[in-house]
Amino acid sequence: MTGHASYTTRQAAYNLRKLRGKDLIARPAGTRRYNVPLHAARTIAALLAFRTQVIAPILAGVRSPHQGRKPRTGPALTGTTKLRISMQALFHDLGITVDAAAA
């Protein structure tokens, strides 16, 4: 159903249990179907928007744009450059690597 041949029914059952435990889906009595409550749909939409609008651009900007030597003198660092440099240090400390294709 997801297009991934390696996604098993056991993994789907585990994911459904996680979503039910977080009250993001509900199973009506006597059925095999699941419903998404309104508050859960808002939460899921907010998380997806946060991931695509905030986290992805930050991760894409973490990679250094230039791989060569740095100039001896140059303009002062902008806020975006300072954020990128501090995020690189944070991701290095956390052990997060940025995929070159994402950047």
Give this prediction's pTM.
Answer: 0.50
- Using CA atoms, how far apart are residues 71 and 35, in angstroms rounded to an integer? 58
Indicate whether 2 belongs to any domain: no
Q: How many domains does the chain have?
A: 1
The contacts of residue 83 (CB under 8 Å, 6+ apart) are: 58, 61
- Chain CA centroid to CA 101, Å: 15
Domain that residue 18 falls in: 9-66+75-94
- Chain CA centroid to CA 6, Å: 21
pLDDT tens string 28-70: 999 999 999 999 998 888 888 888 877 777 777 666 566 667 6
Identify the CA nearest to 36 among candidates 53, 49, 21, 19: 19
Indicate whether 55 belongs to any domain: yes
Identify the CA nearest to 34 among candidates 50, 5, 12: 12
